[in-house]
Structure 1
Amino acid sequence: MKPILYLRLKKKVQAQPGQLLRIKDICRLAGGAVCEEIKEIPVYAASLNHGNYTVIDSLDILGLISEQAPSLDVRNVGPTQTIIEVHPPAKEPRIILVLLVWMILFVGSGLAIMNFHVDVSMQEVHQRIYYLVTGRHVHQPLILQIPYSIGIGTGMILFFNHLFKRRFNEEPSPMELEMFLYQETIDQYVINDEKQKVERDSHGTSV
């Protein structure tokens, strides 16, 4: 009876340019002692020559394993592709650029909130509420405006579930969910695009 090797390709692997990725870097293996002779097989040398993304198919992995150990019964129990994301070494952020972006976002968000309040006549609403409660006309009902302003900031902190680097609970924030869905869409696009390239190349070769 052939020894059985189970492998599961990782969904995504990040690498540096020039890094040699082996099977142990791309797959999770299960099969006892047979894993030791398989996990060091080289698979891909990370490079930026073809862009930041490369897709490794499970058939490529199975072919490499069959060359090294043809007597193994290899079974793939996970995804059929792995995305290799190649990143150059990260650069230190420039303080001036960070401050400039922070100022643009701060001023832009502040203007957006103020324009929204003007559109819905928020000041007139506060004046009307103050008059209904107290019976007096006041141009700036600070007793309503100050708690309201504090509530906006507090609500945004609770909504995004972050205060600087601190999280209030393990529940993902709406921004994290949107980023997750965005990344999932990118990954699926990369996989589909790679499939189309392979199909075009195979058709061109056959012709």
Structure 2
Amino acid sequence: MENTVYIQMKRRLTINKSSSMKLGEMAQIIAPERMKDLRQMVVLSKTSDIEKKFIVLDVMTVISKITSRYPDSDIQVIGPSETIIELVEKRRSVPSFLFVLVWLLLFVGSGLAIMNFHEETSMQTMHQKIYWMMTGKINSTPYIVQIPYSLGLGLGMILFFNHLFKKRINKEPSPLEIEMFNYQQDLDQYVVLNKHKESTKYSDDH
């Protein structure tokens, strides 16, 4: 037990390119007091020379580094055996005019999409029929129906995405967040499988 090291690798991390990564940043470690310096051991360095956006760091690489420092250590791996590391460039500030331009394009584009949908489904005619059913009168511009409908459409979008600007309405994830989570899971699985294919191909060639 005095030489036992428990390691739990994190599934995914994001770091800036050209930065290094220590073992304590990419994994949870329980180790004897004399091995506390393992948390400061550099596992990944010189990332600026790596052209790929994703790196899959296998636990075997971590074990090799630990045993090179402490040959008598007994390493127990808990949880995932790989960590996906995403290398990102340092973010640059977006010019204000570019932000406003993108916002206007999205606003106009979404507005046109909604109007075209309403035109194809004859929404105005439907509102006229609803007004006639409620009042018994014919009105070509039933604002009393159209205005609440427009407000309800905007409110429904807010509730659907579960966000009002940067504020979350409730703790439940929105459908968009679930789709993004599923996409991230599929992407991580692809990166790991692609890494395994490359490793197998390299072994076969040698």
Q: TM-score range by the shorter chain?
A: over 0.9
In the alignment, the residues of structure 1 paired with residue 118 and residue 34 of structure 2 have an alpha-carbon distance, to the nearest angstrom, of 67
> Would the aligned equivalents of 2:20 and 2:42 in 1 still touch at CA under 8 Å?
yes
Secondary structure of the 1:138 match is coil
Q: Which residue of 1 aligns with 2:145?
A: 144
Task: Tell me the alpha carbon deviations over residues 19-50 of structure 1, each in whole angstroms, 9 at most, x when there is no partner.
Answer: 12121121110134144132222211123533
Q: Which residue of 1 aligns with 2:131?
A: 130
Tell me which amino acid in the other structure corresponds to 1:27: A
The residue correspondences of 1:15-54 to structure 2 (distance < 5 A) are: 15-45=15-45, 46-47=47-48, 49-54=50-55
Q: Which residue of 2 aligns with 1:201?
A: 202
Stretches of structure 2 lacking an aligned partner (at least 5 in a row) = none
Tell me which amino acid in the other structure corresponds to 2:161: F
> How many Å apart are 1:186 and its aligned residue?
1.1
Tell me which amino acid in the other structure corresponds to 2:14: Q
Cα RMSD (Å) of the superposition?
1.4
> How many Å apart are 1:71 and its aligned residue?
1.0
In the alignment, the residues of structure 2 paired with residue 40 and residue 199 of structure 1 have an alpha-carbon distance, to the nearest angstrom, of 32
Secondary structure of the 1:189 match is helix
Task: Tell me the alpha carbon deviations over residues 40-94 of structure 1, each in whole angstroms, 9 at most, x when there is no partner.
Answer: 2221112353311111001111111111111111011011111111111100012
Q: Which residue of 1 aligns with 2:14?
A: 14
Instruction: From the superposition, tell whether residues 35 and 156 of structure 1 become closer, same or farther in structure 2 (CA, over 3 Å).
Output: farther
Tell me which amino acid in the other structure corresponds to 2:51: H
Tell me which amino acid in the other structure corresponds to 1:125: M
Instruction: From the superposition, tell whether residues 182 and 5 of structure 1 become closer, same or farther in structure 2 (CA, over 3 Å).
Output: same
Which aligned runs of 4 or more in structure 1 are off by greater than 6 angstroms? Answer: none
Task: Tell me the alpha carbon deviations over residues 71-129 of structure 1, each in whole angstroms, 9 at most, x when there is no partner.
Answer: 11101101111111111110001212211111111111111111111111111111111
Task: Tell me the alpha carbon deviations over residues 143-191 of structure 1, each in whole angstroms, 9 at most, x when there is no partner.
Answer: 1000000000011111111111111111111111111111111111111
> How many Å apart are 1:204 and its aligned residue?
1.2
Q: Percent identity?
A: 39
Stretches of structure 1 lacking an aligned partner (at least 5 in a row) = none
Secondary structure of the 1:179 match is helix
> Would the aligned equivalents of 1:14 and 1:85 in 2 still touch at CA under 8 Å?
yes
Moved more, 95-104 or 34-43: 34-43
> Would the aligned equivalents of 1:56 and 1:81 in 2 still touch at CA under 8 Å?
yes
Between the two proteins, the alignment pairs up a number of residues equal to 205
> Would the aligned equivalents of 2:4 and 2:32 in 1 still touch at CA under 8 Å?
no
Q: Which residue of 2 aligns with 1:106?
A: 107
Q: TM-score, normalised by structure 2?
A: 0.94
Q: Which residue of 2 aligns with 1:190?
A: 191
> Would the aligned equivalents of 1:29 and 1:35 in 2 still touch at CA under 8 Å?
no
In the alignment, the residues of structure 2 paired with residue 97 and residue 76 of structure 1 have an alpha-carbon distance, to the nearest angstrom, of 48
> Would the aligned equivalents of 1:53 and 1:86 in 2 still touch at CA under 8 Å?
yes
Secondary structure of the 2:109 match is helix
Is 1:167 the counterpart of 2:174? The answer is no
